[in-house]
């Protein structure tokens, strides 16, 4: 089963793009019709996916071969594949599609790539086993869940300079910023809870107990 799915509003209606690690492809699903429209072959063991309507692309991490596949949304086919560290897992794209951020699981870093050319434009050491990545709605900050350090790192999206280190629960994996930019949720796999981060103070605000080993999170548009 795929680890992540992101919605995309297109002419055909809401679409979900879902990574399938076992079959090394991405399913394109018409949500309203409940129908799979296509299966796009990507790299080995795809995990994370980030969709950008702004540049018309979906970026897919392939940890099995340390790469990122680029899917053209309209053609629904891979148009490029580029190398990304020692184990690309988490991924996020800036709201304008100009920058793509990739968590290097084994390399302990955050990698930045140009969303148009796919060329590397920066990197930053963030700690032990970075997993999920999220960008704030204004595109100014990028958050990384650093799993084995039990914290979320907040970086300047343009320079990758560190802004804050936020302590969370045990082994945070997924991280997501709310559409209004007020909150971030970090899902902690070992402590079975969710850390709520206040984005104004960059400090933990609450801890929510959930089920066992939470891995994925998404917000509704409102």
User: Contact 90/107 with Cβ under 8 angstroms?
Assistant: no
pLDDT in tens, 53-101: 999 999 999 999 999 999 999 999 999 999 999 999 999 999 999 999 9
Q: What is the mean pLDDT of residues 15-28?
A: 96
Name the band, by pLDDT with cuts 50, 70 and 90, for residue 210: very high
Q: What is the mean pLDDT of the chain?
A: 94
What gap in Å lies between CA 213 and CA 187, rounded to an integer? 8
Q: Are 35 and 56 in contact (CB under 8 A)?
A: no
Residue 9's pLDDT is 43
For 131, residues 6+ apart whose C-beta sits below 8 A from its C-beta are 89, 90, 103, 105, 144, 145, 146, 147, 172, 173, 174, 175
* pLDDT higher than threshold 50 for residue 148: yes
Q: What percent of the chain has pLDDT over 70?
A: 95
């Amino acid at each position: 089963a795929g680890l992540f799915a992101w919605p995309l509003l297109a002419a055909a209606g809401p679409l979900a793009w879902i990574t399938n690690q076992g079959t090394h492809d991405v399913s394109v699903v018409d949500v309203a019709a409940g129908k799979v429209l296509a299966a796009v072959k990507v790299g080995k063991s795809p995990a994370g996916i980030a969709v950008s309507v702004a540049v018309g692309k979906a970026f897919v991490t392939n940890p099995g071969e340390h790469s990122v596949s680029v899917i053209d949304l309209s053609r629904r086919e891979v148009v490029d594949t580029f190398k990304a560290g020692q184990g690309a897992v988490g991924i996020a794209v800036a709201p304008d599609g100009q920058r793509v951020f990739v968590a290097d699981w084994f390399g302990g870093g955050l990698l930045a790539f140009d969303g148009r050319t796919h060329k590397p434009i920066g990197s930053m050491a963030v700690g032990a086993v970075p997993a999920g990545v999220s960008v704030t709605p204004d595109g100014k900050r990028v958050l990384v869940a650093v799993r084995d350090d039990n914290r979320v790192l907040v970086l300047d999206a343009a320079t990758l300079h560190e802004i804050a280190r936020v302590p969370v629960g045990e082994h945070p994996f997924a991280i997501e910023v709310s559409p209004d930019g007020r909150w971030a949720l970090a899902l902690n796999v070992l402590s079975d809870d969710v850390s709520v981060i206040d984005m104004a103070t960059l400090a933990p605000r609450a801890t929510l107990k959930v089920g066992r080993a939470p891995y994925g999170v998404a917000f509704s548009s409102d």
